[in-house]
Amino acid sequence: MGYWGWRPLVFSVFISVWVIGCSSTQTNAPTSTPTVLPLITLTLRTPTTLTPSPTTGLPLITTLPHTPPPESDNQGLSRLPTPLPLEIMPPTCYTQVNNQILCLGTVQNRQTQTLTNLVIAINLHDEMGAITDSQQVTLPQRFIPPNSIAPYHALFTIEADNTIAQISVDAIRAEPAPDNTILLLSARNIQTEWQDSRFWVDGTVNNDTPTTAQNIQVIVTLYDAIQRVIAYRILPIGMLTSGESTPFDLVLTPQLVSEGVTYNIDVVGISGG
How far is 273 from 270, CA to CA, in rounded Å? 9
* DSSP letter assigned to residue 66: B
How far is 239 from 261, CA to CA, in rounded Å? 31
pTM > 0.85: no
Residue 213 in contact with residue 271, Cβ under 8 Å? yes
pLDDT > 90: percent of the chain: 46
Average pLDDT, the chain: 75
* Amino acid occupying residue 273: G
Q: What confidence score (pLDDT) does residue 167 get?
A: 87
User: Pick from 139, 89, 135, 137: which is nearest to 115 by CA?
Assistant: 139
How far from the centroid of its chain's Cα atoms is residue 226's Cα? Answer: 17
* Amino acid occupying residue 143: F
160-172 average pLDDT score: 83
How far is 162 from 126, CA to CA, in rounded Å? 8
pLDDT tens-digit map of 24-80: 333 333 443 333 333 332 323 333 334 443 333 333 333 333 334 434 444 433 444
How far is 73 from 122, CA to CA, in rounded Å? 14
pLDDT tens-digit map of 255-265: 988 888 999 99
How far is 175 from 262, CA to CA, in rounded Å? 30
Q: What confidence score (pLDDT) does residue 17 get?
A: 39
Q: What confidence score (pLDDT) does residue 273 get?
A: 66
User: Strands (DSSP E) along the chain, which ranges?
Assistant: 10-11, 15-21, 39-42, 48-50, 63-64, 80-88, 92-95, 100-109, 115-125, 131-138, 143-144, 149-157, 166-176, 181-184, 186-195, 198-206, 213-223, 229-240, 245-252, 261-271
Residue 102: other Cβ atoms inside 10 A: 17
- According to CATH, the topology of domain 2-33+59-176 is Immunoglobulin-like (2.60.40)
**Hey, where are the domains in the chain?**
2-33+59-176, 181-271
**Topology agreement, domain 2-33+59-176 and domain 181-271:** yes
- Give, in degrees to the nearest 5, the angle at Cα 60 between 59 and 62: 135
Q: Say which residues have a Cβ less than 8 Å from residue 147's Cβ, sequence separation at least 6.
A: 108, 109, 110
Q: What confidence score (pLDDT) does residue 112 get?
A: 86
181-271 CATH: 2.60.40.10
